[in-house]
Amino acid sequence: MADDRTPAVDGPFRIHVDATPGGARLDVSHYLTTIILGLAAAAEEDPEGLLGELTDLAGLARQAAHQGPDSHAAHERDARVEELLNEVAGDGHLPVYGEQVNRLAHALLLTVRPRPVPHQREAGAA
């Protein structure tokens, strides 16, 4: 499906900003595609290793949910997720450079400006 919208940020990862009734929605699907492709490459290189790592992460996440955010399981989960992100997604940060910072800020500011409300029905109209 082609995207006709102009991104607020066009590289190295495209970021689109859409207004919502309560604020904004950031479309970072281009970056997420990069992560998925990184995971696919890791799976191709070592399928058992990646599956084992993901299975371990699921177990740690389950333990952390029961033990709380300051538990050993939560800290271990976070450290291992960070390692995996570093491996497949360049540390999990989306860089925004130069004038694109201003474009992103402007696009976000546009989402908080008052927008016209669609025509409302008169009282009593069905």
pLDDT-based confidence at 1, cuts 50/70/90?
Answer: very low
The runs of H, that is alpha helices, within 1-46 are: 29-45
% of the chain with per-residue pLDDT over 70: 87
| Neighbouring-strand partners of residue 20 | 23
The model's pTM: 0.76
In this structure, are residues 44 and 31 in contact, taking their beta carbons and an 8 Å threshold? no
In this structure, are residues 27 and 35 in contact, taking their beta carbons and an 8 Å threshold? no
